[in-house]
Amino acid sequence: MTGAIPRTGASLGGAPLSLSRTPTAALADHIARFFVTIIERPDDALLDDFLLHENAYVRVPLIGSWETLIDRRWVGYEGPMLFGAQERRFSVRCRGPIVAAGFMIRPGAWFSFCDDPADRMADRLTPIGGDWGAALRWATEDVYDHEQTFARMEQVVLERVIVRATPTDPISAAFERIARIDPVRPVADIAAEFGMSGRRLDRTVRAHFGHLPKTVLRRSRFLDMAAVMRGLAVPTADELAELRFYDASHLNREFRQFVGMTPAQFRRSQTMLFTPGLEVRQQRKRVDLAPHVVEAPWRDEAGAGDVGG
């Protein structure tokens, strides 16, 4: 692979990462995390990889040529995009530098950003145009000025939340937390805790998360294990991740289901698009569940170097 120079951080193992921020209190119920990703690469370098996000994302790719695989055909895209939550690997490739900015939408705030239920947008991307798209382009026009980019994204998101004035959903917020801290809980037990039928919980979770409750929990458990394998484990929160799988065959089945590879293949692969997104997830989890850890223990704070070969 041609050389890649991460400009928004790297792991201790040298993997390029994003720079991400916790939202202000005014957006804490709506946004999980803001991020900027800058990975310098030659203009002709082609990266074929995938995304797998448990949250819907708004992402603005800014430099490079981007494509996604739709019906076995590569389709180009540019500008602000809404990526629905993904049940399995979502193939993406990029030619040139990897430069993007955006934010993770909390499921309970889904309808603050979209009129259609989340299951209609799951596992797909949709261009964002009109005034909202123009505002996102303005917010990210100088992505190399990180502070300006974060401030402007906060501004345009807050303006949209105020204009739409859509209440967040407390059931989805509660289910989101359970999925993060205890993804092995039976769905029936969660529904009973919420005082609702399993069918009603299914409808609520599909409308806000994009997938059924069981899928949300399985995916969270898988991503916890993927984070451990990538050296991105949140202290205390992810220590028991491997014990959530019954045996090696169960672990193999989940890896094939979500990313189409075995655990051994995943360990050997360089997922330059998947890993930064996974790390943004882990940063959010660290802030929520391990606030005593001042800095993420997996980041190389001494600076990033050439990670290509």
Mean pLDDT (the chain, rounded): 93
Q: What is the pLDDT of residue 303?
A: 54
Task: Kindly report, residue by residue over 42-73, the tens digit of the pLDDT.
Answer: 999 999 999 999 999 999 999 889 999 888 89
User: What secondary structure does DSSP assign to 164-204, as a single string?
Assistant: H-PPP-HHHHHHHHHHHH-TTS-HHHHHHHHTS-HHHHHHH
Domain ranges for the chain, please list them: 5-289
CA distance 276 to 61: 14
Mean pLDDT of 188-213: 98
Task: Kindly report, residue by residue over 279-293, the tens digit of the pLDDT.
Answer: 999 999 999 887 777
| pLDDT band at 2; cut points 50, 70, 90 | low
> Is pLDDT above 50 for 99?
yes
Q: Which residue do the tokens 């030619």 mark?
A: 95
| pLDDT band at 215; cut points 50, 70, 90 | very high
CA distance 133 to 304: 32
CA distance 52 to 274: 7
Mean pLDDT of 110-119: 97
CA distance 110 to 167: 10
Mean pLDDT of 192-203: 97
Q: What is the pLDDT of residue 302?
A: 67
Which residues, including other chains, have CB under 8 Å from residue 48's CB and lie 6 or more apart? Answer: 91, 93
Q: What is the pLDDT of residue 271?
A: 94
Alpha helices in the chain (DSSP H): 130-139, 146-164, 170-181, 187-194, 198-209, 213-229, 248-259, 263-268, 274-289
Task: Kindly report, residue by residue over 134-186, the tens digit of the pLDDT.
Answer: 999 999 999 999 999 999 999 999 999 999 999 999 999 999 999 999 999 99
Q: Read off the pTM.
A: 0.93
